[in-house]
Structures are given as structure tokens and as C-alpha cells.
């Protein structure tokens, strides 16, 4: 004899809700990817992560934390993951990336250089970098380059405009938006120095969650949803942005 158990839809709904998880991300203020205003976070990355997690039955929550502290909080387990991080030991990442960090050398408008010839341009010059960001070893470990660390790219760009540093290594997309908004007398040099892939970077205790989210992100890449989100914000797709950055690379 077979027995069938009928569970009311309301109970099934409660069971599904109980299994759902709110995935907590700490983020930097990095428009247009994560834009912080009035304690709210919005942007390209927020839309992508929310859609990916919704497809696997989870919600997403975002909190602005200074980047160096953000990474420490993830390691301590205060957040599930850091948004838009480069590859790091001790974190779970990839293989699907959802943003790129195309690093340009920025100079004051009256600087004589019209292009980036290589690290020789920075010899015996003060270069603005951001604490806890990932940079090429040929720059960060060169003793002839005077490294000047700040908390944010925006701080470095303002310092460069005031000639408190000689140049800054900063993101192509984010920095262009900031410079135009504040009408700063600085400009980027082509080609880009390097292009880093950025991922949601999970703490070591969230292997299954990271793996499931990565599969959802991969599906968004394959079905074109990720490109459409970029198109809505930037007027170009993620695929086009990668080609643009690559065309300006060495």
C-alpha cells in the first residue's frame, strides 16, 4: 500500500523561506559598480549579485566598509563575501568574474607625457596607490618608485589634482566618472598598465554558497543578462568594456 503525504502550500512556502539565506557583502564606494549614498548601496555589481542570488533562492545585503576593513571582516566571518575583489589567498573566488579593474597611470594635465612607456615613467616619482588593492609586482616592489598609499582612489585623484603626488594608478571606468564629476585637471595615459579580473570573494567557510553563486553568474554571462546590466549603466556591454580595455593594453 502506498501512502501520500500532502503538505499545504503555505507550509511549503515557509519551508522554502527557512532555507533561503541573506548573503551579506561588504563593499567599497566604487561607482558605478557599488555606489554609496544615504547608507544605501546601488550599482552594476549590486544588480548582478542580487539577480544571481535570487535565481538560487537567496537574497543579498550590502554594507559599505572601508576596503581594508572589509577584507578583514570577511576573514573573521562578519560578512559572507567582499564584492569586486581581485584574486586573494585565503578567499574563495571564481572562475566567473563580473567586473574588471583596468589600471591606468593618471597624471596632471600639464605633465609632458602623452602615453605610458612603462615603469620607467615612475622612477623617483611619488605614485598614489590604494591600501589593500592588488597591483603589479613590477610597480609595487620597485624600490625606485616612491609609493604613497591612501584609503581610496578618489583621495589619490584629488591629491594628484593638487600636485601632492606626481601620478596615480587608478581604475579607468571609476576614475573617469569621478574626474568628470569634479572637473579635476588630470588625465589618464594609454595604454593601461594592467587588467585585473574581479570576483565576489567569499570567506573560506562558504564553499557551497560560493560555488552555487558562481554557477548562477556563469548563466548570466551565457544568457546575456550581465551584458544588459552593464549596457543600462554604461551604454556599453561588459563584453564591449573588456574589448575596449584590452585594446588599450600593452
CA-to-CA separations, 18 to 12, 21, 23, 62, 105, in angstroms, rounded: 10, 8, 14, 21, 49
Is residue 8 scored above 70 in pLDDT? no
Q: State the pLDDT confidence band at 203, using cuts at 50, 70 and 90.
A: very high
pLDDT(246) > 90: no
Instruction: For residue range 21-69, list pLDDT tens digits in order.
Output: 899 999 999 999 999 998 899 999 999 999 999 999 999 999 999 999 9
Question: Which grid cell sits at 187?
Answer: 588625465
Tell me if the pTM is above 0.75.
Answer: yes
Which range, of 10-14, 151-155, 214-218, 228-232, averages the lowest pLDDT? 10-14
What does the pLDDT read at residue 17? 40
Domain boundaries, the chain: 22-99+196-247, 101-195
Using one digit for the tens of pLDDT, what is the confidence trace for 62-116? 999 999 999 999 999 999 999 999 999 999 999 999 999 999 999 999 999 999 9
SS3 of residue 50 by DSSP: helix
The CB-side HSE value for 126 (13 A sphere, CA atoms) comes to: 12
Whether pLDDT at 16 is above 70: no
Topology alike, domains 22-99+196-247 and 101-195: yes
3-state SS class at 181:
helix
CATH fold of the domain at 101-195: D-Maltodextrin-Binding Protein; domain 2 (3.40.190)
User: Average of pLDDT values for 176-201?
Assistant: 94
Q: Which helix (H) or strand (E) holds 22?
A: strand 22-27
Kindly report the number of other CB atoms within 10 A of residue 174's CB atom: 22
Considering the chain, what is the average pLDDT of its residues?
90
Torsion-angle region of 163 (φ positive above 0: left; ψ -120 to 50: alpha; else: beta): left
Residue 7 has pLDDT above 80, yes or no: no
Q: Please report, for the chain, how many H helices and E strands are present, in that order.
A: 9, 10
pLDDT over threshold 80, residue 15? no
Averaged over 220-249, what is the pLDDT?
Answer: 91
From residue 181, how far is each of 111, 137, 156, 165 by CA, in Å?
21, 31, 15, 21
Domain 22-99+196-247 has CATH 3.40.190.10: yes
Amino acid at each position: 500500500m502506498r501512502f501520500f503525504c500532502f503538505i499545504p502550500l503555505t507550509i511549503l512556502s515557509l519551508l522554502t523561506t527557512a532555507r533561503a539565506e541573506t548573503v551579506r557583502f561588504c563593499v567599497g564606494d566604487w561607482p558605478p559598480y557599488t555606489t554609496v549614498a544615504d547608507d544605501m548601496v546601488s550599482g552594476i555589481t549590486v544588480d548582478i549579485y542580487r539577480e544571481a542570488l535570487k535565481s538560487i533562492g537567496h537574497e543579498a545585503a550590502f554594507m559599505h566598509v572601508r576596503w581594508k576593513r572589509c577584507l578583514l571582516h570577511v576573514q573573521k566571518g562578519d560578512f559572507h563575501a567582499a564584492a569586486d575583489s581581485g584574486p586573494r589567498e585565503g578567499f574563495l573566488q571564481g572562475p566567473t568574474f563580473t567586473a574588471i579593474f583596468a589600471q591606468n597611470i593618471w597624471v596632471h594635465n600639464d605633465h609632458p607625457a602623452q602615453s605610458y612607456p612603462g615603469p620607467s615613467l615612475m622612477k623617483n616619482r611619488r605614485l598614489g596607490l590604494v591600501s589593500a588593492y592588488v597591483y603589479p609586482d613590477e610597480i609595487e616592489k620597485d624600490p625606485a618608485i616612491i609609493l604613497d598609499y591612501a584609503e581610496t582612489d578618489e583621495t589619490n585623484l584629488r591629491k594628484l589634482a593638487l600636485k601632492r603626488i606626481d601620478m596615480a594608478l587608478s581604475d579607468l571606468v571609476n576614475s573617469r566618472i569621478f574626474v568628470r564629476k569634479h572637473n579635476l585637471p588630470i588625465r589618464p595615459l594609454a595604454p593601461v598598465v594592467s587588467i585585473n579580473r574581479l570576483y565576489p570573494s567569499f570567506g573560506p567557510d562558504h564553499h557551497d554558497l560560493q560555488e552555487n553563486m558562481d554557477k548562477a553568474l556563469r548563466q548570466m554571462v551565457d544568457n546575456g543578462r550581465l551584458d544588459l546590466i552593464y549596457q543600462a549603466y554604461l551604454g556599453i556591454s561588459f563584453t564591449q568594456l573588456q574589448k575596449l580595455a584590452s585594446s588599450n593594453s600593452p
